[in-house]
Amino acid sequence: MKYSLTSLFAGLLFGFGLIVSGMANPEKVLGFLDLAGLWDPSLAFVMGGAILVGLVAFTFAKKRTLSLLGFDMKLPTNTRIDKRLVIGSLTFGIGWGIAGFCPGPGLVALGAGEIKAVVFVGSMIAGMLIYEMIERSRASSAN
C-alpha cells in the first residue's frame, strides 16, 4: 500500500514536471529536435535539471541495499551494449521524431483529454504488445 502511494506521488510529480518543462508539448519537442530549422534548446535544460538532481540521488542510492522505506533496491544490472539496445533505441527515436511524443508526455496529453494522444498511446501499447508476442514466440521456438 505504502509502495503504491509513493508510486502515485512520484508519478504525479513526474507529470507536473513534464507539464512545467514544456516536454508535454510535442511541438516544443520537435522544435528541439529540429537542429536545421529555428532551434529551441529548452529541452536540453530539462534533461540538465533532471540529471543534476538525479546524479545526487543515484550517488546516494548506489551505496544502499534497502530504500529509505526498507524496500529492496532494484537497480538495473545489465551493462551489455548490443544490437537490441541500439536498434531498439533508434526505432524509438524515429517514432519520437515523427510525432514529438515519448511515453511520458503521451500519457500527460492523454490525461489532458487530447484525442490525438489517445491514438498515440493506444498505438504505443499495441507496439509493446507486438514486442511481447514476438519475444514469446521466439522463446517458445528456442525451447
Q: Contacts with other proteins in 63-122 (CB under 8 A)?
A: 66-69, 71-76, 78-81, 84-104, 106-112, 114, 116-117, 119-122
Least Å distance, CB 48 to other proteins, is 6
Residue 140, interface with other proteins (CB under 8 A)?
no
Least Å distance, CB 143 to other proteins, is 16
Measured from the CB atom, is 83 or 141 closer to other proteins?
83
Measured from the CB atom, is 81 or 141 closer to other proteins?
81
CA–CA dist 143, 131 (Å, integer) = 19
Could you tell me the three cell numbers for 74? 532494484
Least Å distance, CB 119 to other proteins, is 5
Contact between 86 and 78 (Cβ < 8 Å)? no
Radius of gyration of the chain (CA): 18
Q: Which of residues 13-32 bind other proteins (CB under 8 A)?
A: 13-28, 30-31
Give me the 41-60 binding string for other proteins, x by CB under 8 A, dash otherwise: xxxxxxxxxxxxxxxxxx-x
Q: Cα(first)–Cα(last) distance of the chain, in Å?
A: 38
- Of 79, 92, 108, 102, the residue nearest 14 (C-alpha): 108
- Of 89, 91, 99, 94, the residue nearest 120 (C-alpha): 99
Residue 137, interface with other proteins (CB under 8 A)?
no
Phi, psi of 119 (to 5 degrees): -65, -45
Least Å distance, CB 5 to other proteins, is 7
